[in-house]
Structure 1
């Protein structure tokens, strides 16, 4: 299967520790984190994605706001520069252990944090990154360290 993600969720998944907008949101995100950990492919989409799904029934869902679209634009630019390829709708991406490590390193040093400005979760993500991504839900085993 394929996991549909909007661009700024490429950053959010780096520091996800099981907290979110409510029980339905976190339960859904936990399933997505597990699927990412198993190596399911990511499909970049424009607009609401699989993570947004539980929030779309809410009146004035933040997933549809212009500020979130701007976060997508900034994240696509920064992650694209990091991975040396354009991040745009239709791109298929494998989040292998090396890519996840590179993305977390860039996030922790601030290289890919432009999209985070104004996000209500910025403090939590900063603490998670500063703590070495302890207890994050998206994990990929490093094949070079397995016997």
Structure 2
């Protein structure tokens, strides 16, 4: 199977420590992180993804807001720059430990943080990065870009 992720969730997964909007959201995210840690592929999608699922029961879910779309555009650009090649919706990725380290290093240095502007979780993510990514749940590695 393949995990569908919107671009800014490529950054969110770096600092995920089991916190979220609701118990259902955290349970879902934990299952996704387990799949990613086991080496499942990622498909970059546009709009709500597998992480968003539990939030979509609400008619006013923030997953559809323009501010989130802006985060996705920024993340797509920054992750592509980090990888040295453009990243686009429809691309697939494979987990790789070396790239996870590179992604986390860039995140900690602020190189991929424009996607975090206005996010209510930005302070938590900054604390996690400052701690050296203690207690993060994604353990397998990072994502390697493969164009389709």
Q: Which band: TM-score by shorter chain?
A: over 0.9
How far apart are residue 86 of structure 1 and its match? 1.6
How many angstroms does 1:95 deviate by?
Answer: 2.1
- The alpha-carbon deviation at position 59 of structure 1 amounts to 2.2
- Equivalent-residue separation in structure 2 for 1:127 and 1:38 (angstroms): 26
The alignment partner of 1:4 has SS state of: strand
TM-score by length of 1: 0.94
CA displacement, residues 30-70 of structure 1 (integer Å, 9 cap, x when unaligned)? 00011111110000000000000110111210000000000
The answer as to whether partners of 1:44 and 1:89 remain within 8 angstroms in 2 is: yes
Note the aligned Cα RMSD (angstroms). Answer: 0.8
Deviation at 1:140, TM superposition (A): 1.2
Structure 1 segments (4+ residues) deviating >4 Å:
none
Tell me whether 1:113 sits opposite 2:113 in the alignment. yes
The equivalent of 2:131 in structure 1 is 131
Gaps of 5+ in 1: 142-147
Instruction: Give 2:145's aligned residue.
Output: none
**1:5–1:44 contact (8 Å) kept in structure 2:** yes
Measure the CA separation in 2 of the matches of 1:33 and 1:14: 10
Q: Find the aligned partners of 1:130 and 1:57 in 2 and give their Cα distance.
A: 34
- Number of aligned positions between the proteins: 141
Uncovered stretches (5+) of structure 2, i.e. residues with no partner: 142-148
Q: Say whether residues 1:61 and 2:64 are aligned partners.
A: no
Alignment partner, residue 79 of structure 1? 79
